[in-house]
Amino acid sequence: MNTTFVEAKPILEKLHQAGYEAYYVGGAVRDFLLNRQIGDIDIATSAKPVEVQNLFKHTIDVGAEHGTIIVLHNGSPYEVTTFRAEGEYVDNRRPSHVIYISSLKEDLRRRDFTINAMAMDINGKILDYFNGKAHLSEKLIQTVGSPKERFSEDALRMLRAVRFVSQLHFTLCPKTRMAISDHAHLLREISVERKTAEIEKLLMGVNQKQALKMIVETNMYSYLPGLERKHKELMQLSTYDLRILKTNIEHWTLFTYCIHPKSVEDFLRKWKLPGKLIKAVKKNIDYLRIIKEKPWSDFLLYEAGDVTAVSVERIYSLMTDPMQIDCNVKKIVNRIQQLPLRSKSQLAVTGHDIIDYLKKQPGPWVSRVILEIEKAIVAKKLENNKSAIKEWLMTCNLDFDQNY
């Protein structure tokens, strides 16, 4: 058995010793069977939340009303959830209530897809009531039971289905795909944050090209922030191999660049993204537009900064010359390393020094003088030391009164 399961085994043992059933369930079992890296271990048990809390010393109540308690074991958190059936879904997002039950099979029946509805006992035996193993072999995403019912219960499952297409390189079963097309409008009820989380995972998947096409073909894109009537732009995005990109910022940069929103900032805010990410993406897109018109100059590289310049070159090369990405990025890195100045913080003088040298009152002119100093140093016309800069300022004949 995988060591990740072994580490969680004492939790199952303790539940068994107290007379309860307990099994590993969900994505960890799926990934174990696929020989993928295993993430969080989830446990399903016949013990009720209060019984789990009484049995373990260190627990966190993250949703006892829905049957879930986090058990802390050797510093790691494990979700332990009581076997349950779910009441009526009133908003296509969550059940109105849950009902505790004693059947593992019925607990697994409420899950989204067959590949996620398997369990494993403490000895490593797989319990598969809904043909999950067969669908893993067939590389097939299929709902447990009626896709119409599953998607009506939680509309996010439609995005999750396509996200699994991307991450696992699977396909949708025809009935599941048809149900997504028929029920895509239910995504209106889903919070932006949940949609964003799924799209970010989808963009990083190995089969993101096909997944993006499915989002268009099933009309889900019409119910995603800022994407209404953007099917051509999304199909263009689907032609690029996003696996080459390194960061979430790079993914959002290319995504946004391809969508061509009127306002980059407004578009990204619709996705409820962090301000820091929005700022980085906006900067990337600004430089993408610049180098589309003219090649990198040394000062442009300096002005962009190391991280932005490398990201922008990687994205631009992906769009224009994908076979040369590594070579192009390496050239940019080498050019950046050879710059005599890499950031404003490396300047040998400060604004106070400049005011002192020129005996002038502080004002906006100072930042403009600093810019001229930066340009001269990057162009290798001026050495970055105080005496050289002072001499240059005193002899360069800049008309501070008119121009600064």
CA nearest to 157, candidates 96, 217, 218, 213: 218
Please give the mean pLDDT across all residues of the chain: 94
Domains and CATH numbers, the chain: 1-138 (3.30.460.10), 139-239 (1.10.110.30), 241-339 (1.20.58.560), 346-403 (1.10.246.80)
pLDDT at 92 over 70: no
pLDDT, position 41: 95
Q: At residue 187, what are phi and psi to the nearest 5 degrees?
A: -65, -15
pLDDT tens digits for range 115-145: 999 999 999 999 999 999 999 999 999 999 9
Q: Report the sign of the C-alpha dihedral through residues 129, 132, 135, 137, in that order.
A: negative
Residue 249 makes CB contacts below 8 A (sequence gap 6+) with 277, 280, 281, 284, 311
pLDDT at 399 over 80: no
pLDDT tens digits for range 274-330: 999 999 999 999 999 999 999 999 999 999 999 999 999 999 999 999 999 999 999
Band (pLDDT 50/70/90 cuts) for residue 54 is very high
Question: Are 27 and 137 a contacting pair, CB within 8 Å?
Answer: no
pLDDT at 105 over 70: yes
Percent of the chain surpassing pLDDT 70:
95
pLDDT tens digits for range 177-191: 999 999 999 999 999
Distance (Å, whole) CA 38 – CA 64: 25
Distance (Å, whole) CA 212 – CA 204: 11
pLDDT, position 398: 67
Pairing of strands 68-73, 59-63: antiparallel
What is this structure's pTM? 0.89
Q: At residue 85, what are phi and psi to the nearest 5 degrees?
A: -115, 160
Mean pLDDT throughout 226-235? 96
Distance (Å, whole) CA 187 – CA 403: 55
DSSP 127-178: E-SS-HHHHHHHTEE-BSS-HHHHHHH-THHHHHHHHHHHHH--EE-HHHHH
pLDDT tens digits for range 205-222: 999 999 999 999 999 999
Band (pLDDT 50/70/90 cuts) for residue 382 is very high
DSSP 244-285: G--SHHHHHHHHHHHH--S-HHHHHHHTT--HHHHHHHHHHH
Distance (Å, whole) CA 7 – CA 40: 12
pLDDT at 26 over 50: yes
